[in-house]
Amino acid sequence: MLHVRMDMHFSSRLQIVIMFVWCTVCSTDISCRNEAGEPVDWFIIYKLPRYKIGEVGSGVDYMYLDSSVGSWQISKYMVNTSQGAIGNTLKQLYAGQAYKSNSSVYALYNDGPPILDYIKGYGHTKGVLLFDHSQGFWLSHSIPHFPSFPERGYLYPSSGKVNGQTALCVTYRYEQFLGIAKQMVYLYPRFYNCSVPATFIAELPQLAQLCKGSKPRPPSDKSMEQLSSIKGETFVSFVKSEHFVDDIYTGWVAQALDADLLVESWQRQGHELPSNCSLPKHVMNIKRIRLPGPVLFQSHYDHSKWCVSRAYEDQVTCLGDLNRGKAQLWRGGGLVCTFNPLIFKAFRQVVDWYFGC
Ligand SMILES: *[C@@H]1O[C@H](CO)[C@@H](O)[C@H](O)[C@H]1NC(C)=O
Ligand SMILES: *[C@@H]1O[C@H](CO)[C@@H](O)[C@H](O)[C@H]1NC(C)=O
Ligand SMILES: *[C@@H]1O[C@H](CO)[C@@H](O)[C@H](O)[C@H]1NC(C)=O
Ligand SMILES: *[C@@H]1O[C@H](CO)[C@@H](O)[C@H](O)[C@H]1NC(C)=O
């Protein structure tokens, strides 16, 4: 009996020690989290549309990519549960109640927030920022009405099931968020829940203004900012305000990157911008995607917004906010681009069919 009691005593103490060690790691490092809940430099998810070619899916299955998995992996989780990479990442906000903390900044933004009415005038941009004085993540995605208010916990909207969606999460050191905050001014995102505690206001005055609901004036109509992830991977943020009235892909990014681009975006009939080869670098619309499996679907059912260089030598991939549609010319929005070969390969090889000029 005594032996058993001592064993139990020992094991519960060990448990406390393990919990303590684990929690000092988990609570200090705000990071993108992978499918197992471990910190990662970046990840991408591609939520599959319900209507695939020759098949109707669940609308909640998705592909996952990060630097350690190497190529698209079908997730064993459903996007509408808090398991999986997005749920694990947002858990740091929801379960940790980081939204109540005065030592971290957060913002949930979406032109179409959950529950609330759509208000015109904000940038066409969706995402989450969460960081402290050490580090944090920037998750940008294409899902309307997502994510839910902090006190509600993780909820995935049923409206986000039908179409394909993408999300990019990158972990950055605190200093990089000063640059990201400057980009936010051009985007003019609709922050529907946010907090910029007192100790951050001096360094992040514009983020504090956005959080209060005011509209800081951007110094020009567009801005490019190079960002470096926590592991040193380069990401380039391109953002435009509503005053840059042009298609971001044709009028700016393709020419700035000096690369022909193939663009996957949400295009509604009668409002789409056709493939365009009138400027030195061309932009062409993708029409069909073939993910490994194979999973085939029409771009018509894909609400994601991304592009890749046509040429393998240019090796650039961007994920972002804007569609190639007429109404989008007058909207703020942006793209985050990377030259990572693994990301390029993952996106370039799924382009099954595009419209040339
Ligand atoms: C997730 O979505 C699937 C498919 O629509 C549904 O069967 C399941 O009940 C949902 N789960 C949750 C937790 O909402
Ligand atoms: C932050 O919150 C803690 C705990 O509630 C409090 O003790 C501290 O004074 C607060 N700091 C500031 C700068 O508000
Ligand atoms: C988030 O925003 C909603 C809508 O305005 C509000 O009801 C809720 O209390 C906010 N939550 C927090 C934590 O600020
Ligand atoms: C191609 O794109 C440029 C830049 O957006 C635009 O000025 C031009 O009118 C477009 N050409 C056609 C034929 O749509």
- Per-residue pLDDT tens digits of the chain, which is 357 residues long: 344 444 444 444 444 444 444 444 444 699 999 999 999 999 999 999 999 999 999 999 999 999 999 999 999 999 999 999 999 999 999 997 889 999 999 999 999 999 999 999 999 999 999 999 999 999 999 999 999 999 999 999 999 999 999 999 999 999 999 999 999 999 999 999 999 999 999 999 999 999 999 999 999 999 999 999 999 999 999 999 999 999 999 999 999 999 999 999 999 888 999 999 999 999 999 999 999 999 999 999 999 999 999 999 999 999 999 999 999 999 999 999 999 999 999 999 999 999 999
CB 318 within 8 A of CB 343: no
Cα torsion at 171, 83, 156, 323 (round to 10°)? 40
Look at ligand 4, atom 8, and give the residue with the nearest C-alpha. 278
pLDDT at residue 169, rounded to an integer:
98
Ligand 4 pocket at CB < 6 A: 246-247, 250-251, 276, 278-279
pLDDT at residue 97, rounded to an integer:
80
pLDDT at residue 1, rounded to an integer:
39
Q: Using CB atoms within 10 Å of the CB of residue 223, give its burial: 0 to 12 exposed, 13 to 18 middle, 19+ buried.
A: buried
Q: Which atom of ligand 3 is nearest to the CA of 150?
A: 13
pLDDT at residue 269, rounded to an integer:
85
The reply to whether ligand 3 has any atom less than 6 angstroms from the CB of 138 is no
The reply to whether ligand 1 has any atom less than 6 angstroms from the CB of 79 is no
The angle subtended at Cα 327 by Cα 326 and Cα 333, nearest 5°, is: 105
- Distance from the alpha carbon of residue 132 to the mean position of ligand 2, in angstroms: 14
pLDDT at residue 28, rounded to an integer:
65
Tokens standing for residue 226: 């190079």
Give the SS3 label for residue 112.
coil
Pinpoint the alpha helices (H) of the chain.
Answer: 2-28, 85-94, 174-187, 198-201, 205-212, 254-257, 341-348
For the chain, report the end-to-end CA distance as a whole number of angstroms. Answer: 82
CA 250 to chain centre: 22
pLDDT at residue 18, rounded to an integer:
43
- Distance from the alpha carbon of residue 78 to the mean position of ligand 1, in angstroms: 8
Look at ligand 3, atom 1, and give the residue with the nearest C-alpha. 193
Is 303 one of the annotated active-site residues of the chain? yes
Rg (CA), the chain: 21
CB atoms within 10 A of CB 199: 12
Taking the C-alpha atoms of residue 187 and residue 17, their distance in angstroms, rounded to an integer, is 45
